Structure 1
Amino acid sequence: MPPYIVQPADTLNGIAAKKLGNANRWPEIARLNKLANPNLLLVGQRLELPGTQAVHPSFVLKPAPNPWAELATLPELWDRGPGERAFLATTQAQHAQEPATFAWARGSLFVVFSQLSETTGKLIRKVAVVPTDFSLLPANLLGKITPAEHAMALNPTGSQFLSTSQKVFGAPSINGTPLLIDIAKAEAAGARIIPIEQLVSELKQFAAQNPGAQTRVNKLIDIIQTVEGEVLIEGRVAGQAVSKLPAAHTAYVRAAEDLWKQFASKKITKAQLEAGLKKLETAFGKSRFIGRLGRALTVVGVVFTVKDVADATQRSIHQKSYKPLAAESIRQAGGWGGAFVGAKAGFAVGALFGIETGPGALITGALGAIIVGGAAYYGCDLLADQLSPN
C-alpha cells in the first residue's frame, strides 16, 4: 500500500479509518512507523501503511448479538481482568486524541437560574400570620359583600374574598409566608378573579355613594395602585394552584417588607417607598431576563452531559463492562450535585454582604455553583478514573 502524507488535523485513528477502513487499526500504523508518541503527528510526515490484514486482529471489536449479554458481573466491576487491561493499554491513546467536552458549569446555570419564579399569570398571597389567619380559604364562602367593602375591611368575617398581590414582591404591608397562586388553575377550580382595575372601579363607586368616605377611599386607591397591587380572589383557592416561592424570590418579598416598615415608622417618605419598590421590581425583571438566558445556556450543559453518558454507554458496550458507564455516572453526579450545593453557598455568602436581590445575587450563586460544581466534577473524575479512565 502506498505511503500516506500527514495532513492538518489528522490523527492515527482517523488515518486508519480513512485508509484501512478500520479506526481500531491505528496501533499497526504506530508500530510500523516506530512512533514514540502516537498522538504527535507532523503535517507532511510520511507514514508507511500496513497491508489489508490486521497485524493484531484481536483489537477488532465484533459486537455480540446482545452487547449487554457478556457484561462483567458486579464483583468484577472493581477488578480489571487481563483482557480489559490489554484493551485499555491500546485504546487510551486513541481516546486522548478526542477533544475534551465542556464540564465546568454544567449544573450551575440550571440551579442558579431556576431560583426566581415565573410571575406571569401568577399572584402572591401571604399566609399563616398569627393571630390573623391569612389562609387560602375566605372567612365566609357564602358571603355577599362587595369588593370595595372587602378592601376597606368593613366586614372581615363576612367576606367571600381573599386578598392577593400582582406585585412580584407581594403586598409589603402584610407579613407571612408568601405563596404563588396560578390564576388559570385557580379559575379552573372555580375561583373568580377581581383584577386591580375592577377593584379600583368598585372603590370609586363606593365613594360616589358615600361622599364621607371619599378621602379614605382615595388614599386606599393610591396605596393599592402604587404599593399593594391588590387583586381579589372570590372563593376558595385550590391546592393545585398554589406553590412556594424559592429562597431567591422570597428575598425580594422581605426587602419590600423592610421598605414598608421604614415607611410605617416614618423613616422614609412615601415617595422614597415607591422609588424603592420600583427599584426592586426593576431588579427582579433584570434577573428574570438573565434567568431566561441562563436556562437557554443550560441546554448546552445538558447536551454535553447526554453526549458524555452516550459515549460512556458505547464504551461499556465495546468493552463489555459496566465500568465506563458507572464511572461517568460518578462524574456527572459530582458535577451537578456540587453545582447545587455551590449555588446555595454562593447565595448565602452574597447575603452576608447584603446581596440578596437583583442580578448580583444571581452572580454570587453562579460563582458558587461554577467553583464548587467544577471542583466536585474534577474531584469525582479522579475517583472515576480509578474505575474507568476517560
Structure 2
Amino acid sequence: MVQVAMSFINEAPDQDKKLSLIETLRTVTEGKIFVEVERARVTRILSDMKKEQGDLNAAADILCELQVETFGSMHRREKTEFILEQVALCIEKGDWTQAGILSRKIGIKYFSRKPKRTPEQIEKDKKEREEKEKNRSSDDPPLEPEDDVTDLKLRYYEQQITLAKHEDKYLDACKHYRQVLDTESVEETPEQLHAVLQRVIYYILLAPHDNEQSDLLHRINADPRNFLVPEEKELLKTFTIPELMRWPIVSEHFGPHLCSTDVFSASEDQQDPKAYTRWQDLRKRVIEHNVRVIAKYYTRIQMHRLTQLLDLDEEETESYISSLVTAKTVYAKIDRPARVVTFAKTRDADEVLNEWSGSMKSLLGLLERIDHLITKEEMMARIQPETAIKAH
C-alpha cells in the first residue's frame, strides 16, 4: 500500500499536492510498526521538501522526531544515513546540543577498518552468509549487507570535527582527525593525507597540556608519515623538547605558513572568527610550555628575569602561572614583595627523611647485587682452571 502511495506522490503534478499526499500517508501509517521503515522514508522526503523551501526549522523538527535506532527491520547503513542527516540539520540550524546528543546514537565500531581478506576468506564468508540466510526465520532481522562504509565514516567524523571546533575541544578534534587518517581512501590520496596530517598536528598542539595530551603528542611525533609535512613536523618537535621557545621567533618562523591555512589567522577574520582564537591559543600553549620548562630547571627565579624569558609583562606572567597552578600542571608560589617566584615545593622533615630512607634502601640493594655478581665471578674463576686440567 505504501509503495503504491509513493508512486502517486512521485506522479503528483505540483508541490502542494505532494505535501498533502505525504501528510496523509504519514497520518495513516503513524504507530504501525510493520510500516515504520516506509514511514521513515516518507518523512525524510517531507523533510527534504521543507529544506528546499527554506524552512530549516521545520525540516529538522520533522526528521529528528524519528527514532530510527529502534527500527529492527531497517539496515544499519540506512539508520546511520538517517542519523547523519538529523545531525547535519541540527548543525545547520545551530542546535549544537541536539546535534551532539544525536551523534552519540552512532556506534563508531561500525566504522572500524576491516582487515584485508584473501580470496579464500571472502569465499568462506560468502558461504557462511548464505547458510545464515537459509536458516534465518521470518522473525529474525535481515542480515546486514557487506558494503563499504567509508563515505559514512568520513561524513560522521566531519560532523564530529565541526562539533569539536565549535566547542574548542582541540584534543577531541585531533582524535577525530586521527580516525580520518586511518582510512584507506585518505591514505591513498596525497592531497587528503597531507591536509589531515597537518590538522592532526595543529590540534594536538592547541590542546591544553595534561597526561593524555602529552602521551598523544609523543605518539604523533613518532609517526613516520610526518616527513610529508616538514614545517609542522619541526613545530611539533619543539614542543617535545624541554627547551624554551620564544613566541616572537615562533611567530616569525612558522606564522606565515600556519596562517596560510584555514586553521589559523593572525588577524580577526570575519569568515571564521575561530581562526584568530586558535592563533591566540597557540601563543598560550607556547607560553605554557615555556613555564613548564622553567619550572623544571629553576627552583627560584626573580620576576624580572622570568618576564624576560617568557617575553611577557608581569601581569601576563602572573596570569599564566596562576592558570597552570590551578590546573595542577606546575607548582609555584609568587612572593610579590620580594619579586620572586618559587617553583620548588617546600618539604617537611618527614618527606626528606622518607626520601633519604628510600635512597639508602636503593643503595643497599645495589651493593647487595654487586656483591652477588662479584661472588659469582670468583666462583667461575675457580672452576675454569679445574676444567682445563681435566681436559688435558
Same fold (TM over 0.5): no
Higher strand share: 1
State the TM-score bracket (shorter-chain normalisation): under 0.3
Higher helix share: 2
Instruction: Please report the TM-score for the alignment, with normalisation by the length of structure 1.
Output: 0.24
Flag the structure with more relative contact order, 1 or 2, with Cα contacts below 8 A and sequence separation at least 6: 1
